[in-house]
Amino acid sequence: MTGRTPLPAALAGPLPAPAPGWAIEADVVVVGSGVAGLTAALRCAAAGRRTVIVTKARLDDGSTRWAQGGIAAALGEGDTPERHLEDTLVAGAGLCDARAVRALVTEGPAAVRRLIALGATFDTGPDGALSLTREGGHHRRRIAHAGGDATGAEISRALLAAVRAARIETVQNALALDLLKDAEGRAAGVTLHVMGEGRHDGVGAVRAPAVVLATGGMGQVYSATTNPSVSTGDGVALALRAGAEVSDLEFVQFHPTVLFLGPEAEGQQPLISEAVRGEGAHLVDADGVRFMLGRHELAELAPRDIVAKGITRRMRERGTDHMYLDARHFGAAMWESRFPTILAACRAHGIDPVTAPVPVAPAAHYASGGVRTDLAGRTTVPGLYACGETACTGVHGANRLASNSLLEGLVFAERIATAVREDAPLAGPPVTPPPGPPGTGLPSPEARVALQRLMTAGAGVLRSGASLAEAAAALDAPAEDRKPAEPGADSWETANLRLVARVLVAVAQARAETRGCHWREDHPEPDDARGRHHLVAALRTSAAGHHLAVHPTESTAFPDGPVVP
């Protein structure tokens, strides 16, 4: 599985952009404003570091506020971190880093309590204890939720209130472009483009010796996703261009139950939380048959990759493009109190789950892989850290256990703040490479839709050697755009999507087996002899040009040897 894949220069080089026209000085710059980014920023600021938050849109426009189901932690009577660990390892299909999972589950309960102390309000029962539910892959009720199905929105609200109270400087409507480095190759800040609002405008920089990437996922690489429009893989692409290693990028989790809006629907789709199944909803086909019975001991509450595959197989058997989620037995009162957000979304699209089954189909949801980090969030580039969905800590393995993501954001963001304090990173003056000619290598914004359709067909829920080879060839081909691409947010985002898509396809080609949420039709079974390892990738440049280096490793944590140049 070790290999070198030649890449076009347009994929591997820095984004064509004007030189920064202004700069902010800081000790730490956090890129992203979800649960991971805000937690890291709060902790760094509390430690006395001058911290700046850079966010792509408004502070609350990331993926966190869309999280419905909740946050998983051993908070209930009789539950233990060890049981949470066991469920996480099973869901990860043999690729979780046990050390990272142990850190998550042991530090998680206290992290949730600190979040509550910060002001987050979770749902409670008549006795005042947290109301806990189950989701797929969990053998116990351990999912804490807020507002019924608005957990992410409540967590985001509480963290943003704390950020404002701490008066942390923020730069909104800003797309991070590339990492600044000093002469020794250490992180020295980021360049960014502010999109016409606030006291900064155009391309500028935040100079800081500690850079924390918390930009969320890359769901927009596919046609249908639960991710918001800002989830274009910016952090992973920035890290790759900076020479950082990424791991497990082939493991993209497709949520089994996304509201099916028709075969032509594209972009962000409404999520039907796994908590709906946790409360007793059934997956059925058009005849009302519960097809998950007998496929797994947990039936509809099996890990997400198993449920997504079960739905896809049943769709193939029945020659249709969706299945149904039946929760009519909940009744109107339960729908209105427990799942008001989902109920409103369904009714907005003409579907009433109180009286009819809800049409559902899998859609891209969560990236289990990302920028490779150690257990303190350090990447392979000194001074560069990553947390949340942007990072690959080893927690998720080949398939994320439901509701572990918000907890990972909390726990590992706190660990990053500790690492920044202990590392006390220093950087010399940033060395800015000369900008390339305007528009060099930039795909036009119009290429985005074609890329998404290409990835959905070639590297979606179902993959094969042939489909991946076709996707790779198309991604490497010179752009045949109708008009030259101009530097700007839309073209930069499309360039980021193209880069992460190309790396995803390369590692998916290298993993010739089915494992977790990586499903190869031409290799339908797991290959434990060769597949129980991680695939690490990095961009490298030599006299021969740019290439992607891929090698296997036993652990996502490092150091365990460099990528083969």
pLDDT tens-digit map of 179-224: 999 999 999 999 999 986 555 678 999 999 999 999 999 999 999 9
Highest mean pLDDT among 145-159, 243-257, 530-544: 243-257
Q: Does residue 57 contact residue 173 with C-beta atoms inside 8 Å?
A: yes
The domain limits of the chain are 23-251+368-423, 252-364
Q: What is the CATH number of domain 252-364?
A: 3.90.700.10
Closest CA to 171 of 216, 209, 203, 217: 203
Residue 96 CA to residue 399 CA, distance in Å, equals 9
Query: Which residue of the set 43, 142, 157, 304 is catalytic?
Result: 304
Predicted confidence at residue 564, as pLDDT, reads 37
CATH 3.90.550.40 is held by the domain 23-251+368-423: no
Residue 513 CA to residue 509 CA, distance in Å, equals 10
Q: What are phi and psi for residue 525, nearest 5 degrees? A: -120, 155
Predicted confidence at residue 562, as pLDDT, reads 40
Residue 97 CA to residue 396 CA, distance in Å, equals 8
Predicted confidence at residue 364, as pLDDT, reads 94
Burial of 147 from C-beta contacts in 10 A (0-12 / 13-18 / 19+): middle
Q: Calculate mean pLDDT across residues 362-381.
A: 96
Per-residue burial over 311-324, b if 16 or more Cβ lie within 10 Å, else e, is bbebbeeeeeebbb
Number of Cβ within a 10 Å radius of residue 395: 28
Predicted confidence at residue 264, as pLDDT, reads 85
Q: What are phi and psi for residue 274, nearest 5 degrees? A: -60, -20
In the predicted structure, residue 561 carries a pLDDT above the cut 60: no
Predicted confidence at residue 565, as pLDDT, reads 36
Name which residue leads in pLDDT, 425 or 157: 157
The answer to whether 102 is a known catalytic residue is no
Name which residue leads in pLDDT, 118 or 402: 118
Closest CA to 64 of 496, 403, 363: 403
Residue 278 CA to residue 296 CA, distance in Å, equals 15
Residue 271 CA to residue 63 CA, distance in Å, equals 12
| Structure confidence at residue 435 as a pLDDT band (50, 70, 90) | low
Residue 565 CA to residue 558 CA, distance in Å, equals 17
Per DSSP, the three-state class of 163 is helix
* Average pLDDT in the chain: 91
Q: Does residue 371 contact residue 246 with C-beta atoms inside 8 Å?
A: yes
**194, β-bridge pairs:** 174, 202
